[in-house]
Structure 1
Amino acid sequence: MGRLEKLAGWFILLEGWRRLWAAFALGLISALALAPVDLVPVMFVTLPGLVFILDGVYGDARRSFFRTLLAAFAPGWWFGFGYLLGGLWWIGNALLVEAELFAWALPLAILVLPAGLALFFGLATVIARMLWSEGWGRVMALAFALGATEFLRGTVLTGFPWNTLGYTAMPAALLMQSASVVGVYGMTVLAVPIFALPLVTLAGPGRGRALKRPPLLLALLLLAAHTGFGAWRLATNPEDNDGTIRIRLMQPDIDQREKLTPGNEALVLATYLDVSRQAPAATGGEASGLNDIDYLIWPESAFPFLLTEEPQALAAIAELLPAGTRLITGALRAEPGAAGNPRGKVYNSVFVISDAGEIEEASDKTHLVPFGEYLPFQDLLEAIGLEQLTRVQGGFEPGSQRRVLQAASSRPFLPLICYEVVFSGAIRDNPTAQSAASWIVNLTNDAWFGHTPGPYQHLRQTRVRAVEEGLPIVRAANTGISAIIDPMGRLVAKLPVGMRGTADGRLPAAISTTFFIRFGTWIFATLLAISLAGSLLFRGRRSN
């Protein structure tokens, strides 16, 4: 028996808590494949390890049907809990911004959120167990199950698709291009055989090379197609630095606690104005004005006040902007309410402000962050002392629809605020945006998460959105990472985490409509159907 067979046998023979702790460890290690570590090779071990653990569940026929399903659910849940804990622990940092108010909820953020989301991984291994066999089709069963349940994780209730498993196969622009065809959920389906088939096949007992060739060849072909398509697409779409629209990103790098401190409103605005005048650090960083800039971009919720109630702030912006330059900024927007509630509804919005200091257009955030921007079951949770992090009385209201903003340009844009950009299909699922938008503006405030993996993961997912949609994305973040991203997911300009300053660049051109935009839903459904068929077709073709 070879070393790989012994490794597989060790996982298969695990029982009880040893099996569950092993599944948890495999999931935790899998999180190393995410940004910013990007240790993707671990996936070639961790996913096969999960397959071997499920082999052990499959091999134990002594249980009742219910106990069999529970035995299949448990390792999937523990794997998912490890993966999500390792990938999302940094969310707890948001509760430390005002620790005196929210530190008590730290265990809820760090443990309860991953535990709840891990239910989808448990469901995946239950589905896979129902399709399990001794052949290499069991890997296809896992691909089908994880693809379907990761889609559900990003959709059910409000959805939370952060760190969808497919991102582990897309650490660089070269490996992001497949998303232009299959999207991140389709990439999840394809990633499972790419990562799992080699070790699962090679760790099988030697029953003839002929039986091992098909799964190894499939994994090799999928990997070659994934990388080859990326290389071809990048080569045939060189970087476009000749755009006519000139962009300046302004990254103020203001600590979130400082921004929230009452009395700092004037200081925050002054910082924005001063930094906006600076030339990029690459050209010396000296004050240079904005005469050559078409759009100045500020981050999400830029102002710790209602801009419409502060005419002197709008006047200062008008003084900053030269003729023809417009400001695209995040801001709070309020609608008048009934008597006794003069502000009424409050929205997290994007404003387009002219050089005269006039708000020309606005669009409201439609997909709010649970517990951050609104409280599910608000009356119940407020009764026990829980409030949303933003501390806007009553929480934010969701916008009725995403609006494409013209911004006095021949290239209208679709605004996506904060984590709206992590939801796949923002353009595909919006007919107006699909026909009108030629770029995306993503405004965010990742200061909540400090110097953790959060901002890096957010940028990674934003880059994949650009590839899926075939549109450039201009991203402004309070503390980083701000960037101009071309439709290939390449970084045209960038401001790293923790840097105060500006970055200038030209808006890259959009490319022709991607296959994902036109056929993404059908392609994903087809991949699920193929993986399901593969799980049934190769049930008895044993290669291990």
Structure 2
Amino acid sequence: MRRDPLPAGSAGPTDRPAADAARPGPAGRLTAVLRDGPYGWRALIALAAGAVSALAMPPFDLWPLMALTLPVLVLLLDGVRARHKPARLALRPAFGLGWCFGMGYFVAGLWWIGAAFLVQADDFAWLMPFAVLGLPAYLALYTGLGAAACMLVWPRGPARFLGFAAIMTLAEWLRGTLLTGFPWNNFGYALGSDLNFAQASSVLGISGLCLVTLACLASPAALLDPARSAWRRLGPPLAAAVVLAGLWIGGAWRLAHVEVGTVPGVKLRLMQPDLPQDQKFRYDARRDVMDLYVATSESAGGLDGITHLFWPESAFPFFLEREPEALARLRGMLPAGTTLVTGAGRLEERPSGRPPAVYNSLLALDSQARTIATADKVHLVPFGEYLPFQETLEALGLQQLTRVRGGFSAAQARQPMEISGLPPALPLICYEAIFPSEIVSASKSYDRPRQGLLLNVSNDAWFGETPGPFQHFEQARMRAIEEGLPLVRATNNGISAIVDPVGRVVGMLPLGVRGVLDGALPQALPQTIYASIGNSVSNALLALCLLLAFASQRGYTRGD
């Protein structure tokens, strides 16, 4: 039977496979949208990818998701760099996409901060949108700046993952340093949520772990590189898999082979009162607060045999030294040989008739309720414990959440606490535990034996049962691994815990639970590489990544 001729330009049966091959598949269409789609759509995709990335942080710990979301950001930046030459023309669109990614990440990861503004809602609820959206908008500036800077070092091929990781790690360092710093949810905590991976921080610190996280989890973008050989597409993710497997196996070996003893003659008790935040600062509730603390502390058969009792940050709605009745209660509670270590506000008189300075402090009291050691907070929380331009903003009617007139005063330097019966303790009050560089510098500044434990007290009841306390605990635990020191952590509503120097939880009181935790104090390990030399190893790796990226960039600019 005779067939009708096909119209001119139509593909015959033998032409269809070639036409189908030329038609992009789902991966190709996705790549085309990420690299060449309308900018508004790409910005929305960046925002969504950043929000999904927050699921890598506690309490979800879904770090493999970043192996999907970071490649999205890389492909978006690929498109910007390809269509904007010279590189300076790519800075603005790259900044916008990086900012959108950061905005999604920080809103999804830090929304719980808004809960603090509902504790005293009549005064502070109107500020909640500024915290929930304003703080992420500021923090996202660093992600945007990092993305823009990447355009100056954005070669074709695998080297761009190294440049991306190095520059974004530098951006994270800036975020944790400038304007007092806020390194909360550094990207490195994605891998750090796995205790095997976290062991690498004893060498690299969180900064080095951030570099590894970004380089390895961004590498799957190579699978979608156009016109590349199979080896060049598969090589980067395979290399990343080898690095991650090596870190995981090395961490597992360390956990299996490091033996941690306990300090002889020390029995700790951590008291977690789970006191509602709206009662914690009411002076008229002071007797009820003391009743709760004493009853909870004695709830596990009394305090006989307990050498050290720990209470959380800002434990009292009053200044302890000015309350004889409270001191008498403590004398009646503490048996001989038991030391109470508690958070408390502390007054210090100042000359010339000026109002006394108020410190957020740790106090150690003997069984006669005499103060035998103190430590004051060094790194205060902006808008929580003090206002920038304090007098000016107070004159306008603003006040910090803690409602201390004039704000808290900051100690000049972090000093170890010498508490009878314990090794020297490095005090970390509340979010001071999220600043690893300050801990390293403090550890090196003392002309004394090395500290034997990290002592972290906090009051996360501001944030209720949200992801915030879980994130705070994981960051404090990372400090223990970095330093090779045990962590004793007492909080108001959780998470209170004793953690050994490789990050294993010896005992824990979960979030939202009232009770006590008894346990021995783990011994410190020999000084870790990170504790000895800080970020030297991670800085060397970062410099190497930048060098390789710059070398590859030269070839790119010549059109290779």
Q: What TM-score comes out, normalization by structure 2 length?
A: 0.91
8 A contact 1:403–1:414 mirrored in 2: yes
Question: Percent of aligned positions with the same letter in both sequences?
Answer: 44
Distance 1:2 1:234 in 2: 45
Among candidates 365, 375, 386, match of residue 374 of structure 1: 386
Matched, 1:108 2:130: yes
Structure 2 unaligned residues grouped into runs of 5+: 1-23
Distance 2:396 2:80 in 1: 42
Report what 2:183 is aligned to. 161
Question: Which one-letter code corresponds to 1:317 in the other structure?
Answer: L
Question: Which one-letter code corresponds to 2:466 in the other structure?
Answer: T
Among candidates 460, 466, 479, match of residue 446 of structure 1: 460
Shift of 1:527: 1.6
SS at 1:215's partner residue? helix
After alignment, is 220-229 or 354-363 more displaced?
Answer: 220-229
Greater RCO, CA 8 A, separation 6+ = 1
Report what 2:433 is aligned to. 421
8 A contact 1:471–1:487 mirrored in 2: yes
Show the 5 A alignment for 1:67-466: 67-197=89-219, 199-205=220-226, 207-238=228-259, 240=261, 244-279=265-300, 288-338=301-351, 344-409=356-421, 411-430=423-442, 431-432=444-445, 435-466=449-480
Question: Which one-letter code corresponds to 1:294 in the other structure?
Answer: T
Matched, 1:29 2:46: no
SS at 1:290's partner residue? coil
Question: Which one-letter code corresponds to 1:350 in the other structure?
Answer: L
Report what 1:509 is aligned to. 523
Shift of 1:205: 3.4
Distance 1:94 1:120 in 2: 25
Structure 2 vs 1, CA of residues 125 and 328 (structure 1 numbering), >3 Å: closer, same or farther? same
For residues 168-210 of structure 1, give each alpha carbon's deviation from its aligned partner in whole angstroms, at most 9, with x where no partner exists.
Answer: 111132221011110111111111121011x212222363333
Distance 2:126 2:406 in 1: 21
Distance 1:225 1:421 in 2: 28
Structure 1 unaligned residues grouped into runs of 5+: 280-287
8 A contact 1:425–1:517 mirrored in 2: no
For residues 97-156 of structure 1, give each alpha carbon's deviation from its aligned partner in whole angstroms, at most 9, with x where no partner exists.
Answer: 000000010111001111111111111011111101221211111101111110111111
Structure 2 vs 1, CA of residues 538 and 213 (structure 1 numbering), >3 Å: closer, same or farther? farther
SS at 1:475's partner residue? strand
8 A contact 1:34–1:167 mirrored in 2: yes
Distance 2:349 2:282 in 1: 25
Distance 1:458 1:403 in 2: 22
SS at 2:501's partner residue? coil
SS at 1:78's partner residue? helix
Distance 1:71 1:410 in 2: 55
Distance 2:192 2:335 in 1: 41
Distance 2:181 2:551 in 1: 33
8 A contact 1:334–1:344 mirrored in 2: yes
After alignment, is 241-250 or 13-22 more displaced?
Answer: 241-250
Distance 2:87 2:225 in 1: 28
Among candidates 516, 529, 534, match of residue 520 of structure 1: 534
Distance 2:182 2:542 in 1: 21
SS at 1:394's partner residue? coil
Could you say what the CA RMSD is over the residues aligned between the two structures, in angstroms? 1.9
Distance 1:84 1:501 in 2: 33
8 A contact 1:36–1:457 mirrored in 2: yes
Distance 1:34 1:216 in 2: 22
Q: What TM-score comes out, normalization by structure 1 length?
A: 0.94
Distance 2:455 2:346 in 1: 18
SS at 1:265's partner residue? helix
Shift of 1:509: 0.8
Structure 2 vs 1, CA of residues 320 and 167 (structure 1 numbering), >3 Å: closer, same or farther? same
Distance 2:493 2:479 in 1: 21
8 A contact 1:140–1:535 mirrored in 2: yes
SS at 1:112's partner residue? helix
SS at 2:340's partner residue? strand
Report what 1:285 is aligned to. none
8 A contact 2:349–2:357 mirrored in 1: yes
Distance 1:410 1:40 in 2: 37
Matched, 1:14 2:37: yes
8 A contact 1:135–1:541 mirrored in 2: no
Shift of 1:39: 1.4
